[in-house]
Protein backbone atom coordinates (compact mmCIF):
# COMPACT_ATOMS: atom_id res chain seq x y z
CA UNK A 1 0.00 0.00 0.00
CA UNK A 2 1.22 3.54 -0.76
CA UNK A 3 -0.22 6.89 0.39
CA UNK A 4 -1.08 8.94 -2.69
CA UNK A 5 -2.59 12.32 -1.80
CA UNK A 6 -4.83 14.45 0.40
CA UNK A 7 -7.73 16.21 -1.32
CA UNK A 8 -8.84 19.71 -0.45
CA UNK A 9 -11.90 21.38 -1.95
CA UNK A 10 -11.15 25.03 -2.74
CA UNK A 11 -13.54 27.93 -3.29
CA UNK A 12 -11.16 30.22 -5.22
CA UNK A 13 -8.65 28.35 -7.35
CA UNK A 14 -6.41 31.37 -7.95
CA UNK A 15 -6.23 32.22 -4.24
CA UNK A 16 -5.49 28.57 -3.36
CA UNK A 17 -2.71 28.34 -5.97
CA UNK A 18 -1.20 31.62 -4.77
CA UNK A 19 -1.16 30.33 -1.20
CA UNK A 20 0.19 26.84 -1.90
CA UNK A 21 2.51 27.60 -4.85
CA UNK A 22 3.60 31.23 -4.50
CA UNK A 23 3.74 31.44 -0.71
CA UNK A 24 4.44 27.85 0.41
CA UNK A 25 6.50 26.93 -2.65
CA UNK A 26 4.66 23.80 -3.85
CA UNK A 27 4.76 22.92 -7.54
CA UNK A 28 1.83 22.18 -9.82
CA UNK A 29 2.52 18.72 -11.25
CA UNK A 30 -0.62 18.02 -13.24
CA UNK A 31 -4.06 19.44 -13.94
CA UNK A 32 -7.26 17.90 -15.22
CA UNK A 33 -10.47 19.68 -16.21
CA UNK A 34 -13.68 17.63 -16.34
CA UNK A 35 -16.33 19.31 -18.48
CA UNK A 36 -18.87 16.59 -17.65
CA UNK A 37 -18.18 16.62 -13.93
CA UNK A 38 -17.76 20.42 -13.84
CA UNK A 39 -14.56 20.38 -11.79
CA UNK A 40 -10.81 20.93 -12.03
CA UNK A 41 -8.21 18.80 -10.24
CA UNK A 42 -4.72 20.14 -9.63
CA UNK A 43 -2.02 18.00 -8.03
CA UNK A 44 0.75 19.74 -6.10
CA UNK A 45 4.04 18.45 -4.72
CA UNK A 46 6.66 19.86 -2.37
CA UNK A 47 9.92 20.76 -4.17
CA UNK A 48 12.04 18.40 -2.06
CA UNK A 49 9.62 15.53 -2.78
CA UNK A 50 9.58 15.87 -6.58
CA UNK A 51 12.54 14.50 -8.52
CA UNK A 52 12.70 14.56 -12.32
CA UNK A 53 8.93 15.01 -12.52
CA UNK A 54 8.33 11.86 -10.47
CA UNK A 55 5.17 11.83 -8.39
CA UNK A 56 6.10 9.10 -5.95
CA UNK A 57 5.76 11.32 -2.88
CA UNK A 58 2.36 12.15 -1.34
CA UNK A 59 0.61 14.98 -3.16
CA UNK A 60 -2.06 17.55 -2.41
CA UNK A 61 -5.05 17.42 -4.73
CA UNK A 62 -6.88 20.73 -5.03
CA UNK A 63 -10.44 20.13 -6.20
CA UNK A 64 -12.24 23.13 -7.64
CA UNK A 65 -15.94 22.55 -8.33
CA UNK A 66 -17.16 24.97 -10.96
CA UNK A 67 -20.57 25.36 -9.32
CA UNK A 68 -20.85 27.27 -6.03
CA UNK A 69 -20.98 25.09 -2.92
CA UNK A 70 -20.56 25.87 0.80
CA UNK A 71 -17.86 23.72 2.38
CA UNK A 72 -18.17 25.16 5.89
CA UNK A 73 -15.12 26.05 7.96
CA UNK A 74 -13.05 22.99 6.93
CA UNK A 75 -12.03 22.25 10.54
CA UNK A 76 -13.03 18.61 10.11
CA UNK A 77 -10.10 18.07 7.71
CA UNK A 78 -7.35 18.37 10.32
CA UNK A 79 -4.17 19.80 8.78
CA UNK A 80 -1.36 19.44 6.29
CA UNK A 81 2.22 19.41 7.59
CA UNK A 82 5.42 20.58 5.90
CA UNK A 83 9.01 20.46 7.13
CA UNK A 84 10.89 23.72 6.53
CA UNK A 85 14.60 24.62 6.65
CA UNK A 86 14.10 27.76 8.80
CA UNK A 87 10.76 28.17 10.54
CA UNK A 88 11.45 31.79 11.48
CA UNK A 89 12.35 32.81 7.93
CA UNK A 90 9.35 30.91 6.55
CA UNK A 91 6.94 32.59 8.97
CA UNK A 92 8.47 36.02 8.29
CA UNK A 93 8.07 35.50 4.53
CA UNK A 94 4.44 34.36 4.92
CA UNK A 95 3.64 37.23 7.28
CA UNK A 96 5.17 39.74 4.83
CA UNK A 97 2.84 38.31 2.17
CA UNK A 98 -0.16 39.11 4.41
CA UNK A 99 -0.71 35.59 5.76
CA UNK A 100 -1.70 35.43 9.43
CA UNK A 101 0.55 33.28 11.61
CA UNK A 102 -2.20 31.67 13.71
CA UNK A 103 0.17 29.79 16.00
CA UNK A 104 3.61 31.45 16.00
CA UNK A 105 6.78 29.34 16.33
CA UNK A 106 7.38 30.35 19.95
CA UNK A 107 9.22 27.08 20.57
CA UNK A 108 11.37 27.37 17.43
CA UNK A 109 9.79 24.16 16.17
CA UNK A 110 6.13 24.49 15.14
CA UNK A 111 3.79 27.06 13.63
CA UNK A 112 0.34 27.02 12.01
CA UNK A 113 -1.17 29.11 9.22
CA UNK A 114 -4.41 28.69 7.26
CA UNK A 115 -5.08 28.62 3.53
CA UNK A 116 -7.71 30.88 1.92
CA UNK A 117 -10.12 27.93 2.33
CA UNK A 118 -9.33 27.68 6.07
CA UNK A 119 -7.21 24.53 5.77
CA UNK A 120 -4.74 24.39 8.64
CA UNK A 121 -1.11 24.05 7.58
CA UNK A 122 1.46 23.00 10.17
CA UNK A 123 5.06 24.13 9.62
CA UNK A 124 7.73 22.08 11.40
CA UNK A 125 11.40 23.00 11.75
CA UNK A 126 13.71 20.51 10.06
CA UNK A 127 15.97 18.84 12.64
CA UNK A 128 15.89 20.20 16.18
CA UNK A 129 14.11 23.29 17.41
CA UNK A 130 15.71 26.66 16.80
CA UNK A 131 16.49 28.78 19.88
CA UNK A 132 13.56 31.01 20.90
CA UNK A 133 13.64 34.33 19.04
CA UNK A 134 11.57 37.48 18.83
CA UNK A 135 9.09 38.52 17.65
CA UNK A 136 7.90 34.92 17.71
CA UNK A 137 8.74 33.99 21.33
CA UNK A 138 6.31 36.51 22.82
CA UNK A 139 3.68 36.51 20.06
CA UNK A 140 0.25 35.19 21.00
CA UNK A 141 -2.03 32.98 18.97
CA UNK A 142 -4.40 34.53 16.44
CA UNK A 143 -7.72 32.88 15.68
CA UNK A 144 -7.83 29.11 15.36
CA UNK A 145 -5.83 26.60 13.43
Q: What residues act catalytically?
A: 122
Q: For the stretch 98-119, what's the b/e string if a residue is b when 16 or more beta carbons lie within 10 angstroms of its beta carbon?
A: ebebbbbbbebebbbbbbbbbb
Q: What is the 3-state secondary structure (H, E, C) of the chain?
A: CCCCEEEEECCCHHHHHHHHHHHCCCEEEEEEEECCCCEEEEEEECHHHCCCCCCCCCEEEEEEECCCCCCCCCHHHCEEEEEECCHHHHHHHHHHCCCCCCECCCCCCEEEEECCCCCEEEEEECCCCCCCCCCCCCCCCCCCC
Amino acid sequence: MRFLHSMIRVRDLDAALTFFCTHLGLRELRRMDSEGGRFTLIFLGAPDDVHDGSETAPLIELTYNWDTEDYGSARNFGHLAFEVDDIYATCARLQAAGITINRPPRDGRMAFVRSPDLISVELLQKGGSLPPAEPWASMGNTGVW
